Structures are given as structure tokens and as C-alpha cells.
Amino acid sequence: MLNRRHLLAAAPALAAGSLTGLPLMAGAAAKPRVISVGGALTELIYAMGAQGDLVGVDTSSLYPVAATRLPNVGYARTLAAEGLLSLSPTMILATEEAGPPAVLAQLQSARIPLHVLRADHRFEGVLDRTRQLGDLLDKARQAQALIDTLQKSWAQTQQTVARTAAGHRPPRVLFILSNAGNQARISGSGTAADAMISYAGAINALGDVQGYKLLSPEAAIAAAPDVILATTQGLESTGGIDGLLRMPGLAQTPAGQRKRVVAMETMEMLGFGPRLPQALATLATALHNGAAG
């Protein structure tokens, strides 16, 4: 059996023909063939029951597990037109992180409907993307049912956050994005991590900085976080909590001295998909745990 990543190299003649603008599939009633570039989009597609239309996903599409069994088109920011077109898609759904621009232009030249959905790091953004996907995939009724469920879950989560945050000072949280072989970055305002920290009733210790900046001893110490927030993938790549705290300046922070580190799976915490309400409840509980007094 071919490895799913090897499937992207298949049908070179088809891919070459697609780049010239030739139609990929004949017949108006042909079954949709959708590629999802963005883990949160993939999760929403599964949540509304439209996974039967999927023929490919990107590397961030790790949930549900069934998505990992689909052909993989690679990293969202470094897509290749040949790999995408080899799957004969009738539609490509992506987030604003998709690229490079030259590849997106190739897809449009090949007459493949390409829909780039806004990456809005708010709960309302999740609802908007759900509604858009429902319209695009002819699943408007299922999308509305999912929206109703999300709104109920969100209301319950707000109560959980209020309850866990009551009675003590909001903790200062420093989010660290780290991967093996790359210098770690810390997250300021205007990021998904910043939005989650705020939703959880905590304070972004780097909130006066826009976007991401490289981790330095000076920045870590000045931030003085009560809690260090990381992804489970990043924590594993650095060798666990002890390895993370060996990064510049972190051991000298209040969080480092107390070994107060919280980690969650990347897409669960930062994806802003259908798992957002549950992810926020988990995050708020973890951040406020032990913060009283």
C-alpha cells in the first residue's frame, strides 16, 4: 500500500494538465473533492459531517485521527501546486496562513475554486467560519446545528472561567512557541495565544508587544510570568519542563522558580476550531490552579 504522503506524487500528467487550466473533472454532478488546508477547518468539516467530501488535508490536520489517514498536501505555508492538483480537487479550502502566493495564483489559473477563510481569533470567528463552510459544502443545516451546540458550550465555558478566576489576582502568562532546531519565540498581542490567555481570565505577560518576538533572557525576566504556557509538541521537543526551563531567562522568572508550566496540544489550544469551548475551560482551570492568594 502506498504511503499517504507518496500519493501526492501520483498522476503527474493530470497535474500538468491542470496547470494549463484544463478541467479536472467532467460532469456537473461529480462528487465534490475537497482539500482542507488548516487543521481548524478540517475539524469543522468533520464536526458538521462533511468529511466524505475530503480527499486531502495539510500537516496541521491531526484531529480527528481519521483526518491523518487522508493524503497530506504538506505544510500550509509551503504548498506545492503539483501536490494539490494531483488529488484532482474540485475545491480547496484554506486559512490566511496558506501560501506561498505564487502557488495560490497557480491554483486560480487552474480554475480550481480556492476559498481563503479569515483567521479570526475570536469565538465569533469560529461561528463565521462554520457558517461559511456550511454554505460552501452545501451543509448549511448541519453548520447551523453545530453553531447552536458551540454557543451553548461557550456559555457554559464562560461560567467555568468566571468561577475559576474568582477570588485571586489574574496570573501573568508567557506563551512560548518552540520547535526542535528553531529559536523559541514568545507571543505578544494580536496572536491566537494572546486571545486564549485573555479569554481564560489571565494576563499576557508580553501583552505590550505586537505579534511574536524571539525569546531572550531580558525579555523573559522583564515579563515576570506567574505561568509559562507552551504546546505539548514544543514541550516534548525541548525535553520536558526541565528542558524548557533551560531556555534563556526562564528559570529566573517566578514561573520558572516554581516550575509552573502548562502545556496543551497546539491545534486544540490555538486552532480556534470546534474544540474551542472545551479547550478554554481546560486552559482556564490549569492557569488559575494554585493562583489563589
* Together in a domain, 39 and 114: yes
280 with 207, same domain?
yes
pLDDT of residue 289: 86
Tell me, yes or no, whether 170 and 220 share the same domain. yes
Domain-embedded: residue 100: yes
Q: What pLDDT score does 108 carry?
A: 87
Q: What angle do CA 267, 288, 281 make, to 5 degrees?
A: 40
Please say whether the dihedral angle defined by the alpha carbons of residues 186, 118, 7 and 63, taken in this order, is positive or negative: positive
User: 68 with 1: CB under 8 angstroms?
Assistant: no
Residue at 192 is within a domain: yes
Decide if 21 is inside a domain.
yes
Is 154 part of any domain?
no
Q: Does residue 109 sit in the same domain as residue 204?
A: no
- Distance between CA atoms of 133 and 92, rounded to whole angstroms? 11
Range of the domain at 254: 161-288
Decide if 201 contacts 284 (C-beta within 8 A). yes
Same domain, 193 and 264: yes
Both 123 and 169 in one domain: the answer is no
CATH number at residue 188: 3.40.50.1980
Number of domains the chain is built from:
2
Helices (H), 200-253: 217-223, 232-237, 240-244
| One domain for residues 21 and 113 | yes
Please check whether residues 108 and 173 belong to one and the same domain.
no
Residue ending a domain, choose from 145, 171, 188: 145
Q: Which of 118, 145, 172 is the last residue of a domain?
A: 145
CB-CB contact of 58 with 39 (8 Å):
yes
Domain boundary among 110, 145, 180: 145
Q: What are the mean pLDDT values of the chain's consecutive 10-residue runs (293 residues total)?
A: 37 33 48 96 98 97 97 96 95 94 92 94 97 98 98 98 94 90 87 97 95 94 97 92 93 96 96 97 92 41
Structure confidence at residue 8 (pLDDT): 36
256 and 224 in a single domain? The answer is yes
Q: Is residue 153 part of a domain?
A: no
**Cα 39 to Cα 99, 192, 225, 245, 292, distances in angstroms:** 15, 14, 29, 29, 35
